[in-house]
Structure 1
Amino acid sequence: MTTLTTQQLETVDRLRDRPFPAERGWSADGVYGGPGFLVADLLVSEDFWEDDGTRLMEADDQFEAERAAMVLLLSRRWGEPEVLDLTELFIRSVEGERLPEPMATLCGYVSLLYAWRPPDGRRRIAVGVGQHDRELPIQLLVTVWDEDVG
């Protein structure tokens, strides 16, 4: 296991046990959260402002491989994930529907989440890859949310 993967798993474990903030916003360590949810980057690419598409395609492949590795490792812990397609949620949000967090935040830039319900609690955990816009960095992220919220 690479050092990066070890650090990513440590981030997942820290978020599992971390209290949810009372107010929505960013923490000093770069975690976004609010009542009932947390979202953190596991890996972030460079931006792609001066790219002809080549670096973006390479980075996309790398991030999908990193996501697949995280899914494999977390599946060894908690079994096969549920695959959540956020496309429909994005369409509903654009149409004005108010969505619960963390889906309201994620559906604008993450299309698929791989989610687990660990047997030791009500929190759900998911990983996914997202990008806010073609020129912006790609993110491998983890989100944790209260089962009653998401």
Structure 2
Amino acid sequence: MTGDERTADVEPALRSYGVSVESIDGGDPLELTYMTAFPGREVHRGEVGRALNALIDRAEAGEWDPVRVEGTVVRSPGDVLGTWHAESEWFEALIGYEISETDFSTRVLDTLDHESDEGAESEREAESGPGGDR
């Protein structure tokens, strides 16, 4: 199965789960960019879950071979809210009942990187100086 065939199968599944796919590259890794319906300060964990559930369901049905997934969440085109990823081994362990859904979710959520966090970190450093709190 080529990357294009994987993308053709995966994109409709993601959309059926309410994921607003902006772009997808079905290679290895699968690079998914989607527009959030919750353009706040943080990535909405429920949306991450919907994207993952679409992929898990495809994998359990034998319609998708798990690869690393790199998710980019945007508020609008070019305005990145954050990123996350899931390793192929995590999908395989979940499908093989080697880890629980909670363990899988925890692993993915631990990879969340909010773009706004970097700005907040810089602001805190500027307020407190390079040596920490004053």
Structure of greater relative contact order (alpha carbons < 8 Å, 6+ residues apart): 1
Structure holding more helix per residue: 2
Structure holding more strand per residue: 1
Which TM-score band applies after superposition, normalised by the shorter structure?
A: 0.3 to 0.5
Bigger radius of gyration: 2
TM-score after normalising by structure 2:
0.32
TM-score after normalising by structure 1:
0.30
